[in-house]
Amino acid sequence: MAKLSIRDIEIKGKTLLMRADFNVPQDKELNITDDTRIRATLTTVRYILDNSVGKLILISHLGRPDGKVVDKYSLKPVAKRLQELLNEPVKFLADCVGEKIKDDVRAAKERIILLENLRFYAEEENNDPEFSKKLASLADFFINDAFGTAHRAHASTEGVAHYIKSAAGLLLEKEIRYLGEAVQNPVRPFMLILGGAKVSDKIGIIENLLPKCDCILVGGGMAYTFLKAQGLAIGNSRLEKDKIGLAKNILDKAKNLNKEIVLPIDHVIVGNIDNDADIKICDREIPDGKMAVDIGPKTVGLFEGKLKGAKTIVWNGPLGIFETDSFSKGTKEIAEFIGNLNCTSIIGGGDTAAAIAKFKLEDKMTHISTGGGASLEFLEGRTLPGIAALTDKK
């Protein structure tokens, strides 16, 4: 990696400012309902503690308070959960910048300090230089371990790195390694699986990775715009009418590059999207009044046949409406199949990661990205501001 890693700096006795992603879901009583993002930071936090850091100041956002103090978006519950997970005291401070915070950080006897929600200040999302300087003044080094926000040029992700020596945390380093190798130098055969609702969401990935991959398997709602572009009947299935021409162009480009784009050859169809909907399987063409909600068994077999020799698989987007159990079989069976392959399997965050978690297959995948939008932009070949701003290795 061309950027400094936390492994490259001497942190003993130093004060570190670390950007984490603690944007976790909560219920109405403000109990954290999913602590995955908190757990994802623990490897870096424990590395820091094990290497005799002086103090670790953690910063994050939570929700969209729009530059105002909103009690329900306080990070106080995160401090409590973090303390439970680490079995180490965590000091919570009810602000994130200012002279009082500096004094409170110096006075704190705890090694771990969590500051209040950065987005209580509008200056955070505006990437205000003065706000960035105030954050930087709290510590000796800045560590970014929040890949999920690395595609945003905010004060705590990009701005602060201009005023203090900055490095990637272990989680961010892992994201860059796996996604970067997949984009730049994948071990072949390299297969790309794309799903989700819209072709328009995946244009950037297709344009960037089509010349580099060996085959693209397409499922989910986006598949039906491609099938429509081939002149096939898709019933009431998801369609982006204004992207039919784009889908044709992509198919033509793949043909010219001698790359294979594999589309569903059968479908799970319903008349309406309900748990108790009358489910049927149909072949390539979908009858009027019916909509596809999942790939069919023949398509599962076709996809597995293409994937069986793969050495690198990148998957972004579920292959059906996996949130509904009746429509999740295709996504689940492909996930289970990949989990048993001898290959590098990279799950591109967001809904795909949620599907893998639902099926309890996390430990079967090589890497599950912690960033939905960030992983999407990384796979599109875009420069992520939160990574670009880190200090370069000499």
Structure tokens at 233: 């009947």
DSSP 350-381: HHHHHHHHHTT-GGGSSEE-S-HHHHHHHHTT
Sign of CA dihedral 261, 307, 294, 381: negative
- The β-bridge partners of 292 are 269
In angstroms, the CA 89 to CA 364 distance is 33
Element housing 217 (H / E) = strand 215-218
In angstroms, the CA 47 to CA 40 distance is 13
Give phi and psi for 171, each to the nearest 5: -70, -45
Cis peptide before 189 (omega within 30 of 0): yes
Catalytic residue among 67, 180, 373, 381: 373
Catalytic residue among 19, 37, 238, 306: 37
Q: Is 228 a catalytic residue?
A: no
Q: Is 152 a catalytic residue?
A: no
Structure tokens at 241: 């009418």
Structure tokens at 323: 């949130």
Q: Is 245 a catalytic residue?
A: no
Catalytic residue among 220, 221, 348, 350: 350
Catalytic residue among 198, 248, 253, 364: 198
Residue whose tokens read 């569903």: 264
Question: Using DSSP, how many helices (H) and how many strands (E) does the chain show?
Answer: 14, 15
- Within a 10 A sphere around the Cβ of 224, how many other Cβ atoms? 28
Q: Is 248 a catalytic residue?
A: no
The residues annotated as belonging to the active site are 37, 198, 350, 373
